[in-house]
Structures are given as C-alpha cells and as structure tokens.
Amino acid sequence: MQVLVLTQRPDGVPAGEVILVHGLEGSSDAGYMRSIAQALLESGFVVHRMNLRSCGGTEFLCKTFYHAGLTTDVMALLLELDRQRRTPVFLVGFSLGGNIVLKLAGEMGADARRLLAGVCTLSTPLDLLKCALALHQPAGRPYEWAFLVSMKRRLRLRHHAMPACFPIDGLERVGSMYDFDDRFTAPGFGFRGADHYYDTQSARRFLDLIRVPTLVIQAKDDPMIPFTAFDHPAFTLNSHLRLVAVEHGGHLGFVSRRPPRFWSDGVVTDWIREVAAGAE
C-alpha cells in the first residue's frame, strides 16, 4: 500500500512542519489545501499535503479505499518524519480529514507528545451517523449527491481493474451516503455495517483522550454537520481542546473579504505559530 504526499519547503530554516489531510473525495490539490499551504509556507513551515489512500490519482497504489477513521496512513507518515528526525509536527485536518486526525490524537493519548506539537481541524464530522443523516436532508442533498457520484465512479474504476477486491453488486440502488457505507465501506473494512462503522470511528469517542494542543473550528450553519455534535463535555473538561464556533461559514466556507482566500488560514497559521513558539 502506498499514498502520495506532496511536500513544499520554505526558504531558510523551517519554523516547523505541518501535515494537511483533506476531506471526503478530496485530494492534495483541493483549493482549501493549497490556500492554507501557501499561508503556512509564507510563515516558514514545511507543508506536507497528504492524499488519503486511493485519492489524488493514486487509485491503483493500494487494494482498499480510505475511510473516516483510518488513522494508520497518517501515523505511518508521522513515523517516517520521526525517523528523519523531523518531528514533532502539526496535523491539520479538513472535514473527514479532521475526524481522522482527532481520532489519531486520541488513540495516541499522552504518547502523542513525542510526535505531535498540535492538531487543528475545520468542519469536522465528530459524529459520523449524525452527519450521514444530515447529508440526506434537503440542505445536505447537493453535497451527498456530489459525493455519491464521485464515490461510485471511483468504485467502478477499481472494480474494472480488480473485480475480486471491489465488488459492485447493488451499487445502482445506493441512494444515500448511509447506504454506500453500509453496503461497501463498512464490509470492506470488516465492520458489521454502517452503524458499527460510524459508532467506532467517530472522533467524538476519542476527544477525552487527546493530550496535545488542539484547535477545532466549526460553523454553526454547516449543512453537513449538525452543531449538536459539538455539545460534547470534552470541550469543557479537556483543557487541551479549544473550540472556535462561528455563526456562519457553512462547510469549509470560511471565506475572507480580502486575501488570504479563507480567514481560517490566518487563524490556523497564527495558532500554529503560537504553539510552536511556546514549545521552544
């Protein structure tokens, strides 16, 4: 199994290193990835734009897809950077990528401090079941439809090359994200169904265990992520977590009236600089 990581380096001695993890059906080339990469580079950070397995034109580098709780690939990159003596690093996750990096930080617990300086997420589906159901509501349906078109196309492509690994029986009857995950994602990774997959892989289960500085940015009007998912006691009880909740922004729509393109780029970059300076 292989994944593609695009690395960009600033001039001079780096201030630190940041791994960016994209969202559902995204890639290293997503606009939000490129935008924040530019801001981080200008602030002196090495940036690693990571493609989740099978994304970014890498469909044939592995025999599985990614899923919302698959932390092993990000961990493998962390360990490789550690082998090169280039940790600790920051993780920044967008949407589904946010669920992955929060879950990883929780899985690592106090051990994360050796490899991670901090974690930041934007528009994160903390509760995967709530988000799958929200996608099937009128406000979320345009997003769900776009995701399904892309995911079905990817599955058919993989089936054509490796039919035994990627069966497509019943694909034409799939009409929701829940259906797709229940019929394909969950069994493909050994889960008993969508409910089991969502319950075990949601980052909400791991928030209490996080022991590194963590910034979570979320819009209350996100059509894909009910804000009730953020009524979690960890945001009050876990001092390592900081929730920045804004009234408007939709899903990854933290658009600025002036450069940079997204105001969240500046917020995340400034936070990373502050945490990095405090760790010196």
Q: How far apart are the first and last CA of the chain?
A: 36
On whether both 109 and 212 belong to a single domain, the answer is yes
On whether both 48 and 180 belong to a single domain, the answer is no
Domain count, the chain: 2
Q: What angle do CA 190, 194, 195 make, to 5 degrees?
A: 110
On whether both 73 and 11 belong to a single domain, the answer is yes
**Residue 20 DSSP SS3:** strand
On whether both 95 and 75 belong to a single domain, the answer is yes
Mean pLDDT of the chain: 94
On whether both 171 and 257 belong to a single domain, the answer is no
- Confidence band for 258, pLDDT divided at 50, 70 and 90: confident
Whole-number Å distance between alpha carbons of 194 and 191: 8
Q: What is the mean pLDDT of residues 229-253?
A: 97
Tens digit of pLDDT for each residue in 86-120?
989 999 999 999 999 999 999 999 999 999 999 99
Domain boundary among 164, 179, 201: 201
- Confidence band for 36, pLDDT divided at 50, 70 and 90: very high
Whole-number Å distance between alpha carbons of 265 and 120: 11
On whether both 166 and 123 belong to a single domain, the answer is no
Q: What is the mean pLDDT of residues 55-65?
A: 84
On whether both 77 and 174 belong to a single domain, the answer is no
Burial class (CB in 10 A: 0-12, 13-18, 19+), 19: buried
- Confidence band for 280, pLDDT divided at 50, 70 and 90: low
Contact indicator for 57, 71 with CB cutoff of 8 Å: no
Domain boundary among 148, 179, 201: 201
User: How high is the pLDDT of residue 92?
Assistant: 98
Contact indicator for 272, 118 with CB cutoff of 8 Å: yes
Domain boundary among 168, 201, 234: 201
On whether both 53 and 187 belong to a single domain, the answer is no
User: How high is the pLDDT of residue 57?
Assistant: 86
Tens digit of pLDDT for each residue in 163-211?
888 899 999 999 999 999 999 999 999 999 999 999 999 999 999 999 9
On whether both 53 and 165 belong to a single domain, the answer is no
Tens digit of pLDDT for each residue in 144-161?
999 999 999 999 988 988
User: How high is the pLDDT of residue 160?
Assistant: 87
User: How high is the pLDDT of residue 232?
Assistant: 97
Q: What is the mean pLDDT of residues 109-138?
A: 97
On whether both 251 and 112 belong to a single domain, the answer is yes
Please, how many CA atoms are within 13 Å of residue 25, restricted to the half-sphere of its CB? 14
List the CATH number of the domain containing 72: 3.40.50.1820
Q: Give me the residue label for tokens 């099978």.
A: 54
On whether both 108 and 167 belong to a single domain, the answer is no
Give the domain range for residue 149: 132-201
On whether both 119 and 186 belong to a single domain, the answer is no
Q: In what order do the strands lie in the sheet with 116-122?
A: 5-8, 45-50, 16-21, 89-94, 116-122, 214-219, 241-246
Whole-number Å distance between alpha carbons of 115 and 48: 15
Peptide bond into 233 cis (omega under 30): no
Q: Containing H/E element for 104?
A: helix 96-108
